[in-house]
Amino acid sequence: MTMTMQHGQQAPRFAQQDCPPSCKDDRCHPFMALKALNQPTRMEIFRMVHNSANGECVDVIASRFSGPLSNISLHLAVLSRAGLIVGQRQKHAVVYRSNPQAVEDLLCYVLGIETDWRFAPGARRHN
């Protein structure tokens, strides 16, 4: 669905209360994870990393996508900031693994199951 705007019209703005972060650190808000997964390439990267038993290194991830390595690195950074994946240096490569607590928390949030939003790095627990 496409929305066209007449000259002089402004796009509707969402009020702060429409999607307030649950704490001052946006990384602990579920909308960050959902927004990160909304982009198709990032969703594929996340699925690849999540389905890998031992994680995936950047070179392997990049080899499965067209485009420069810098684009893949940006996608990995977004997923990392959202707390969905964690990178760990091993010798000369960085290996990415999914954060299982993040997956559980995100599914609980989407399904409406009460839980603390706790997985993001630096996030505070809420009661």
Residue 89 lies in a domain: yes
**CATH number, domain containing residue 96:** 1.10.10.10
Tokens of 84: 């969905």
Q: At what angle do helices 40-51 and 69-81 cross, to 10 degrees?
A: 80
Confirm if 36 and 115 have CB atoms less than 8 A apart: no
Residue 73 lies in a domain: yes
Residue 120 lies in a domain: no
Tokens of 41: 């390439």
- Count up the domains in the chain and report the number: 1
Sequential pLDDT tens for the chain (127 residues): 333 444 444 433 333 333 333 344 445 568 889 999 999 999 999 999 999 999 999 999 999 998 888 999 999 999 999 999 999 998 888 999 999 988 888 888 888 887 665 554 444 444 4
pTM over 0.85: no
**What end-to-end distance do the CA atoms of the chain give, in Å?**
39
Residue 74: strand, helix, or coil: helix
Question: Residue 42 sits in which domain range?
Answer: 26-111
Q: Classify the phi-psi angles of 55: left when phi > 0, otherwise alpha if psi is within -120 to 50, otherwise beta.
A: left
